[in-house]
Structure 1
Amino acid sequence: MEYDFTYQRDTRQFGLVLAPEYQILATFLVEEFAANGSAITQLLQQLTALTPQDEWRYQGKEFVLEVEQAEVLLQHNSLLHNDASASEQQLLLEEQLQLDEHGLSCHCGLEDFVKLLQDWHSFITE
């Protein structure tokens, strides 16, 4: 997985550029953790303590991170909840509306994800 880190001096915002299929990882890191080095340290500690057989779940504000058999699945909460009432669901069906799931989830290996987190942590704490 290739990535580049950015820092906007005028807005003092950190950013992360990833391939389009992994862009949700960038959104996850920026929106859930921003430049909070201690929160990333805690996440890294939990992830590095996992064995290949372990299952683990992190519920963020907008995202769910799941680890199963050394594979990471990151999903936006909108993919996990179907709270629409029956009448709302019928209206969606009638209007042929669907949730665009593109860019709302991705998979990657745990090792790659941990490396990304370590590099991100180093970047924001320098």
Structure 2
Amino acid sequence: MDYEFSFDDDGKPNAVLSMGHEVLGRWLTEELGQNSSKMVDLLAVIDLLDGEQLIEKNILGRDLNLRLERETVEVTALEREEDEEFPEETNLYESESIAECGLLDFKQLLLDWQEFVA
């Protein structure tokens, strides 16, 4: 999983992740941002999961849900009601609405993000 951090024209941090992990970048940028207390809390949850003191943790955001388990992390875009209906056979592009990675990979991503926005 490759990633790159930058600042936009307004000085807000932005995370771009490799194909298949794009929504993780969206989660960092839109849901976590520069909120250092959320980062500290999240790192504590990861330590509890890694130490097998916790089985699972769901964090519901405005547009994205983060599910952490002992070995994996999944970010899923929340369902939105759409006015447009698609034929039953239609396959929509989902890699920007769901992504998964290992817990320790996510921890490293979070630590790198924390350092970048500090």
TM-score for the superposition, normalised by structure 1: 0.77
Percent of aligned pairs with the same amino acid? 27
Q: 1:95-114, aligned counterparts within 5 Å?
A: 96=87, 100=92, 101-114=94-107
User: How many residues are aligned here?
Assistant: 114
Aligned to 1:57: 58
Aligned to 1:77: 78
TM-score for the superposition, normalised by structure 2: 0.81
- How far the C-alpha of 1:68 sits from its partner, in A, is 2.7
Query: Which has more helix, going by share of residues?
Result: 1
Correspondence 1:6 to 2:3: no
Whole-Å Cα distance in 1 between the matches of residues 95 and 4 of structure 2?
22
Q: Tell me which structure has the larger Cα radius of gyration.
A: 1
Aligned to 1:68: 69
Counterpart code for 1:42:
D
Q: Secondary structure at the match of 1:123?
A: helix
Instruction: Indicate if the aligned counterparts of 1:41 and 1:121 stay in contact, CA closer than 8 A.
Output: no
- How far the C-alpha of 1:4 sits from its partner, in A, is 1.5
Counterpart code for 1:96:
P
Aligned to 1:15: 14
5+ long unaligned stretches in structure 1:
none
5+ long unaligned stretches in structure 2:
none
Q: Hey, which bits of structure 1, 4+ residues long, moved more than 4 A?
A: none
